[in-house]
Structure 1
Amino acid sequence: MVNEKRLIENFMELVRIDSISRKEGKLADFLIEKLEDLGLEVKVDQAGEKIKSNSGNIIARLKGSVKNATPIMFSAHMDTVVPGKNIKPICDGEKIVSEGKTILGADDKAAIAALLEVLHIIRGKNILHGDIEIVFSICEEIGLQGAKNLDISSLNAQMGFVLDAGGQVGKIITTAPSQNSLQIIIYGKSAHAGSNPEEGINAIQVAGFVLSRMKLGRIDEETTTNIGIISGGKATNIVPDKVKLEGEIRSRNEEKLERYTEQLKKIAEDTAQEFKAKAEVKINREYYCYNLSADDQVVKIAMKAAKDIGLQPELHPSGGGSDANIFNKKGFPSVDLAIGMEKVHTVDEYILVKNLKNTAEYVLSIINTVTSGEN
């Protein structure tokens, strides 16, 4: 039923449209036209104005042909990470890659392509279905900001399926972590590095001691920490008086998240004081964890739909967040589903054609499962 040629062509066209975070406008215009041509009612919200993107979230609705079916939502994000400009996809018939200088953008345009293919099939084959809503979000890659600014009460759906996990189709993310972002500013004292360095307090050196005392990387099976950005200093002949460290703490356990966050804060403050410097620590909650089980209806549907097309459903925890974190926090039950993308956020990113096709078939199967009421 899936038209593989059309699916690949649509995917290749999508990834050629630049849409790095906050610059999703061109892709949004393309998708609005596509969705309207397929008979959907399309709206764009005001999220973009709030987070300085040139587009808002797209909310599209396809009225059901079956009255009593549970209304559902599918979601994918329009933005990509960098390097994501002038992507040139290459398909050898089995695998799709970029030319090697950019990401591919399967994260998350493979999901968008699959959803467009499903909408083509529904229209062309008169597939029975309930009400379907499609959310194409903005700025997912920079803190799930599009989903955070989506008015969830504007949706009629009762549950959501987010298509944004790596790994083989059939993998179902039932639990994902909370995340705190961490910013540490070390204030030292400037001085001439050659004439009177004794009068200075080297903020970069203090930061080095701070980092050496932190346990970074994987803390345990559900907790990770990372310092990913360091900036500071003005010139080689000036003792630096300020350095900024930026990082994150993630955990699927709230108590551990708060405990390790406080540990990193205390290390920074105590170490700075030891060197007669000062540490200013800012902590921000980026998103909250969600925990679903095989007993939740949205998971039951995802599992049955996978089995019905010969896929082996597997329930997995994740170390990353997605729009599903935001939707669940807002009281809208949602699960994140794998779409077969691999090595995302790198120039080696790729997706197999069979996984692109499996994703479209999986979405169709979810719709059939919900429409039939067999869940």
Structure 2
Amino acid sequence: MNKERVINNFIDMVKIYSPSLNEKEYSEYLIKYLERLGLEVYLDLGYEKYGGNAPTIFAKLKGNIVGDGVTLAAHMDVVEPCNNIAPIIDGDFIKTDETTTLGGDDKAGIAAILETLQNLIESESKHEDVYVVLTPCEENGMLGAKNIDWEKVPSHMIPAKNMIVIDNSGRAGLIAHTAPSKYDFKITFKGKKAHAGIEPEKGINAISLAGIAISAMNIGRIDKLTTSNLGTIHSEFPSNVVADLCVVTGEVRGHSLESILETLTAYEDACKKSVEKLGGEFSFEKICVFPTLKPTDDLAFAKEFSKIYEDMGISTELQIIGGGSDSNIFAERGYNSIIIGVGMESVHTVNEKLDTRELFKTIESLNRYLTK
């Protein structure tokens, strides 16, 4: 590979401001880059449904041997603060001045994809079709992946089912294959207003309703495969008014849908008991943010890619992870994803950095796999 080109491309990309919902400039950069390499490009305009400004980019490098092909995927958006990023090269690491994130999540993944494509073209290697999917708004609920209009994607541009997602933090050799489903919930408690100093007994305090319910909820680690967390508790009243409204939000995530739903049912039961005790009422809303990601081939794809690492002398680790990604959304359409490490560390913080040695290993592993 051309290591200098890899670093220069990465630095050029992180300097482009591309937070969730505002990836347009970066998407235009990538479209031009892919077209310059000679790939066919198709743009999905799903962003029109959720108020974004950048398409999901589908691209295809036609193969020269017969096969089902492979898909390389990553996302374009970066978490804030990500404006005016000033990347610093410090030995084998690229970092920031600690006033912004770096954007290695996931521009390191995209840098790996671009260099891999360039290597395949320049070396005139034998390979099957290589498909590329670059999504916007992954960090904001995977909105790009969720809103793809698959009916409009040309049949010859439908990506291959085996998908390598270059979006795992940590070193090369880490291969995530299973990730949980996530449900968000919102509980609205309604009480009764009264003057807190004159006749508080005539009121029903919605904050008290929430407090009683929450105290009966099992929050945190539910079991080996299930976790939960409260995000917000909101009620805004002066202290001389018995609050009649309190809204609580949170999440439950896990690898077992049965366990997730059991937990949510237990939370709803706690709310019912709170209302039975004090009066008032509540509403309980839940929504599946993303489904589970599970291998469809008994880990055959993950083990096949791990062999590439082993041949390179890199120890591998097959992972079950606790976070979600576009892979969870693609899983609903039958995609068999692995999520590989690319060398990014301390992601989503101003201490984020990228280990270029691991980035180079990732690129080599992709090249070896695609030309095996």
Identify whether the pair has TM-score above 0.5, normalized to the shorter chain: yes
Q: Shift of the alpha carbon at 1:30? A: 0.9
* C-alpha distance in 2 between matches for 1:266 and 1:46: 42
Give the Cα–Cα distance (whole angstroms) in 1 for the partners of residues 198 and 369 of structure 2.
71
Q: Deviations over 1:331-364 (max 9, x none)?
A: 1222222222222222222221112212222221
Match of 1:224 among 223, 227, 237: 227
The answer on 1:81 being equivalent to 2:79 is yes
**Residue 108 (structure 2) pairs with residue 105 (structure 1):** no
Q: Counterpart in 1 of 2:35? A: 36
**CA contact 1:309–1:365 (8 Å) conserved in 2:** no
The aligned counterpart of 1:255 is 258
Return the offset for 1:239. 3.1
Corresponding position: 1:145 with 2:143: yes
> 3-state DSSP class of the match of 1:290?
coil
- Name the SS for the 1:279 alignment partner: strand
Select 2:68's aligned residue among 67, 70, 86: 70
Structure 1 equivalent of residue 343 of structure 2:
340
Whether the aligned pair in 1 keeps the contact of 2:46 and 2:149 (CA below 8 Å) is no
* Other structure's SS at 1:351 match: strand
SS at match of 1:136: strand
Q: Are 2:10 and 1:7 equivalent residues in the alignment?
A: no
Letter of the 1:123 counterpart: I
Cα offsets for 1:252-306 (capped at 9, x unmatched): 1122111112112222232234222222110001122132288444223322222
What is the SS of the residue equivalent to 1:140?
coil
Q: Distance in 2 between matches of 1:163 and 1:184?
A: 36
Q: Is the 8 A contact 2:132 2:159 kept in 1?
A: no
Partner Cα separation in structure 1 for residue 101 and residue 221 of structure 2? 26
C-alpha contact (below 8 Å) 2:177/2:337 kept by paired residues: no
Of residues 300, 305, 318, the one that matches 1:302 is 305
Q: Is there any run of 5+ residues in structure 2 with no aligned partner, and where? A: none
Larger mean Cα displacement after TM superposition, 286-295 or 324-333: 286-295
| CA gap 1:298/1:266 in 2 versus in 1, 3 angstroms | same
Give deviations 1:33-54, integer Å, cap 9, x for gaps: 1111111111210211122210
User: Distance in 1 between the 2:325 and 2:274 partners?
Assistant: 35
Note if contact 1:170-1:312 (Cα within 8 Å) is conserved in structure 2: yes
Distance 1:90-1:67 versus aligned 2 partners, 3 A rule: same
1:160 and 1:298 in contact (8 A); partners too: no
Distance 1:85 1:240, change over 3 A: farther
Q: Which moved more, 1:12-21 or 1:129-138?
A: 12-21
Counterparts of 1:263 and 1:173, CA distance in 2: 31
CA distance in 1, matches of 2:215, 2:316: 42
Structure 2 distance, partners of 1:285, 1:223, is 15
User: What is the identity, as a one-letter code, of the residue corresponding to 1:104?
Assistant: L
Q: 3-state SS of the aligned residue for 2:47? A: helix
Contact 2:343 2:356 in 1 (8 A): no
Q: Which moved more, 1:10-19 or 1:25-34?
A: 10-19
Question: Quick check: 1:172–1:315 contact (8 Å CA) kept in 2?
Answer: yes
User: Which shifted more, 221-230 or 292-301?
Assistant: 292-301
| Counterpart among 221, 239, 242 of residue 239 in structure 1 | 242
The answer for the alignment partner of 1:372 in structure 2 is none
* 8 A contact 2:296–2:336 mirrored in 1: no
Partners of 1:298 and 1:6 in 2: CA distance: 30
For the 8 Å contact 1:152–1:330, the answer to whether it is kept is no
Q: Aligned equivalents of 1:195 and 1:83: distance in 2?
A: 48
Once the two structures are aligned, what percentage of the paired residues are identical?
38
Q: Which runs of 5+ in 1 are unaligned?
A: 370-375
Q: Which letter maps to 1:53? A: G
1:355-370 alignment runs, 5 A limit: 355-369=358-372
Q: Distance in 2 between matches of 1:100 and 1:192?
A: 49
Amino acid aligned to 2:130: I
| Structure-1 residue corresponding to 2:290 | 287
Partner of 2:131: 133
